[in-house]
Amino acid sequence: MLKRLSRRYETQTMLESLANRRHETPFQILIATMLSARTRDEVTSAVSDALFSVYSTPKTLARAPLVKIKALIKPINFYKGKAKRIREVARIIHENYADTVPKTMRELDSLPGVGPKIAGCVCVYAFGLPQIPVDTHVHRISNRLHWVKTKTPEQTQIALEKIIPRKHWLIVNELFVTHGQQTCLPRNPRCCECVIAEYCPSNKCRF
């Protein structure tokens, strides 16, 4: 199934996309991922660009007035709480890590407002380290395929790590997010257009 999805969504293009994202600094990827929660991608991108044009490093963001951070990120959802968290994360990275974003899941997960999903995304998209970040798409599709039977993304991540070979971890999030956005939609999934429908127990298309 992963091979079919890889062919459908051109894995090589995705890997190039991951490499391009790593042209951004790990700190910018971390903060942008924190801002992205419950916010559309295009809004997150615009807000992140505006924020980093003024405060692009842990040191500058840690010392930024909260009112200015809020003004820059106001278009995103829950901007007030996120403003406080990203400034606190910037302060910790500046003071405790000498402006260098940590690379381990444990250290990333310990930062305020950074859970397993964000930590995994930073490992994958900032450092190219194999992890399986689980968002709503990965959680939904994994359960529809009956690969897992879980109630939370955290449970899904643990379960997927047990059944998917580590060599495939790097691309799982990107594949499932794309599949979830284009085909395996939250409502009214396009089963008759799905390249893995014949293997899916939740398939609603009659061949």
Domain residue extents for the chain: 2-14+132-199, 23-127
Catalytic, 68? Answer no
Q: Cα 37 to the chain's mean position, in Å?
A: 9
- CATH code of the region 2-14+132-199: 1.10.1670.10
What is the token pair recorded at 28? 């910018």
pLDDT along the chain (207 residues), means of 10: 89 56 80 88 89 96 97 94 96 97 95 92 91 94 97 95 94 92 94 95 81
* Residue 89 near residue 100, CB atoms below 8 Å: no
The reported pLDDT for the residue numbered 101 is 96
Catalytic residue selected from 135, 149, 151, 167: 135
The reported pLDDT for the residue numbered 37 is 82
pTM exceeds 0.85 for this model = no
Return the half-sphere exposure (C-beta side, CA atoms, 13 A cut-off) of residue 100: 6
Q: Which residue has tokens 């090589």? A: 12
Catalytic residue selected from 41, 68, 109, 117: 117
The reported pLDDT for the residue numbered 149 is 97
- CATH code of the region 23-127: 1.10.340.30
Closest CA to 106 of 85, 83, 129, 78: 129
Question: Which residues neighbour 131 within 8 Å (Cβ) at sequence distance 6 or greater?
Answer: 105, 119, 120, 123, 124, 169, 170
The reported pLDDT for the residue numbered 207 is 53
Domains 2-14+132-199 and 23-127 share a fold: no
* Residue 158 near residue 180, CB atoms below 8 Å: no
Closest CA to 199 of 37, 4, 20, 55: 4
Question: Which residues neighbour 50 within 8 Å (Cβ) at sequence distance 6 or greater?
Answer: 72, 73
